[in-house]
Amino acid sequence: GGAYARLFGSLLRVSRSRVARLYSPHGGSLHYDETTATGKLFFALERFMARFTDCLLFVSDYERRTWRRKVGEPPIPNTLVYNGLRATEFDVVPTLPEAADLLYIGMMRDLKGPDIFIDAVALAGNRLGRQISAVMVGDGDDLPRYHAQVKRLGLDGHVRFLPPMPARDAFALAELIVVPSRAEAMPYIVLE
């Protein structure tokens, strides 16, 4: 996505359009390991794409530090712009009477940690001596694997899967939200 936007912005400049080519390098290529061939390729591409970028916009200092460590010092202007929230996003979301104990909401892919969440539900239940109820809201290619993990751990009746929905609707489904992400500087769900 970021490559296309910068390339199209550069093409528009050829036709004398004054287009700013801004890039926010969160997630995506920053998740690659800089010691692997794939990581080295992506970070070389990021360095190359700097010539088609007017400014890098980082949403957290962690991402800016990660960029510097993996890609190098940016040769172009860069700035830190924190994500913003509207006042209405601070309104309390009432929990439903039949709410579960825990909620996972997000993409069903290992990077986001749904497998960690499922393991934690099983572990917490064992340590507390009672079953923990959980709701998992989201979709993704790995969803069948998480269904199988729930079944394998004997959590069938305690973990429900629901399709994607607005975050505030999902928040009413549980007492506590868990964000088990493996590699995100500031998951948007935390802001929501």
Mean pLDDT of the chain: 89
User: Which has more confidence, 2 or 165?
Assistant: 165
Q: What SS3 class is residue 139? A: coil
pLDDT above 60: residue 1: no
- Enumerate the H helices of the chain as residue ranges: 2-14, 37-49, 61-70, 114-128, 143-152, 167-171, 188-191
User: pLDDT by residue (tens digit) across 33-67?
Assistant: 899 999 999 899 999 988 888 999 988 888 899 99
20: pLDDT confidence band, cut at 50, 70 and 90? confident
170: pLDDT confidence band, cut at 50, 70 and 90? very high
Domains annotated on the chain, with CATH: 2-80 (no CATH), 89-191 (3.40.50.2000)
Tokens matching residue 6: 């910068």
pLDDT, position 26: 72
Residues 6+ apart with CB under 8 A from 88: none
Cβ atoms of 137 and 179 closer than 8 Å: no
pLDDT above 90: residue 5: no
Strands 100-105 and 174-177: parallel
pLDDT above 80: residue 24: yes
User: pLDDT by residue (tens digit) across 59-98?
Assistant: 888 889 999 999 999 999 999 987 777 788 888 899 999 9
pLDDT above 70: residue 23: yes
**pTM for the model:** 0.68
pLDDT, position 3: 67
User: pLDDT by residue (tens digit) across 125-156?
Assistant: 999 999 999 999 999 999 999 999 999 999 99
Tokens matching residue 173: 């489904």
